[in-house]
Structure 1
């Protein structure tokens, strides 16, 4: 029997986050503590702590006198999130190239091989490919060595994931892994300048209207 030490709060956070990111809980939807507590069979205090954590991740807001609500993302929000992501990921890639340990770089290379294999063998599994795409970016942030950057990145990453999952469901992701190859190679070889440039170039531009640009 596998024993997990994950707290009830952590399980509630993961459940709510997943349901928001997958679109089961919609952007802008009101969240009621008592209803969630009953649904998850948890105390209201545990649900409240979980919701507070999701506020820190940028997925939930607490509105005075009206309770909790999933974040809504307008055109200006999306524009800002995109540019913040470009800035953070560029710096994180350069930092990872300079300072990540040999073990962390090996971990990145191994993960990328799994990602390539998935795209090669299951090119139609867009959900799993998309998950590994996001996980790759998160891993680069993780191995860059900055706890503050990891915290800030979550506030950008999760709202963007929720928006993109909701509005862009027809991607061709079969070439997803290969588009990251130069970035991963630059980090693993310690080439900070190329890693910085590749990280920024890898993020698909968005227009003011919240659409993906035709230029990649």
Structure 2
């Protein structure tokens, strides 16, 4: 089991031969935990093969298929089902969206052999974080009581893009609607947050009035 995972991180394929810059790639972000280690290993192996985008596409397709079929997800995570059956199912799933990259196939076999399929979603999410860092992207989530119109959203994004909070990175914008904030905005940019919601202000006022901390 360990040997397959080791090969995943050390194989230097034909696509990277002659390219010194790709010989010893490094992850653009330090991730921790089991999912972080697997995602980092896959990222480095994919970087060596110039296959970062291809692997990301495979992972997104796989995640999309499994997320729509809860029974399938349970099947893959069931410890009583044989490794052979799981491998065959994974190959079939990957084939649904076309020919998957060999690294992707090898990666999922590694997860299956090591009994780590339940970690699949977290690993895919971690790989996505690495790809965002690779593309110099920074997630920006703006939560509002109702969907913001395009003009308002653009003004907020433009203002934040020019601020030090953006760190000079490209902002990946999403607008979430959460009615219980009552009004105002909750801005989450990278690992920072700015709470300008009405509900937050009311909570602070209530604590001030009641004397509760």
Aligning the two structures, in what range does the TM-score lie when normalised by the shorter sequence? under 0.3
Give the number of the structure whose alpha-carbon radius of gyration is greater.
Answer: 2
Structure showing the higher helix proportion among its residues: 1
Larger RCO (alpha carbons 8 Å, 6+ apart): 1
Structure showing the higher strand proportion among its residues: 2
TM-score by length of 2: 0.26
